[in-house]
Amino acid sequence: MRVLITGGTGFIGAEVVRQLVAEGGHAVTAFHVSGSQRRLADVADRIALIRGDVGNFSHVLEAVKAARPEAIFHLGAILSTASDLDPSAAMHANVNGTFNVLEAARLLDVPQVLFASSIGTYGLGMTGEHIDDLTLQRPLSFYGTAKLFGEGAG
């Protein structure tokens, strides 16, 4: 299966890339903004790498066209603390980036997009012991709010 992973050189993204390569039978493309490939050094010769910004629609569209994925793992995002320190950058990457991935997938008929959300959509101390689909979500951070947007948009 052809797979595109946004945030493919990040902590979780690199691990997903590695697992897909180990599983075999996948054409894996890692889409990343950082330029650093150190987390993928052990598999870099077995994947395609595309450098770009999920917040830039033309970058995402070109990556999806190039990879022709049957599935996109959307893991590209600015993490919680950095999001709160720079809400504008978080809006660009986490909200616009998610929209861009979903829109490119829609336009280019990608059958599956897998989105990683966060417990940050619930807010601290708001969940009790059990979380399910009926648990009220009231994020207390911009990061949680952006992830909640992604849940609703998908």
What confidence tens digit (pLDDT) does each residue in 46-101 have? 999 999 999 999 999 999 999 999 999 999 999 999 999 999 999 999 999 999 99
Residue written as tokens 């990879």?
A: 67
Which tokens in the block code for residue 34? Answer: 């950082």
pLDDT on residue 125: 66
Instruction: Domains for the chain: give ranges and CATH numbers.
Output: 2-153 (3.40.50.720)
This prediction has a pTM of 0.91
**pLDDT tens, residue by residue, 15-36:** 999 999 999 999 999 999 987 8
pLDDT for 104 beyond 80: yes
pLDDT on residue 87: 93
Rounded CA separation 89/84 (Å): 10
CB 7 within 8 A of CB 93: no
Average pLDDT rounded to a whole number, residues 131-142:
86
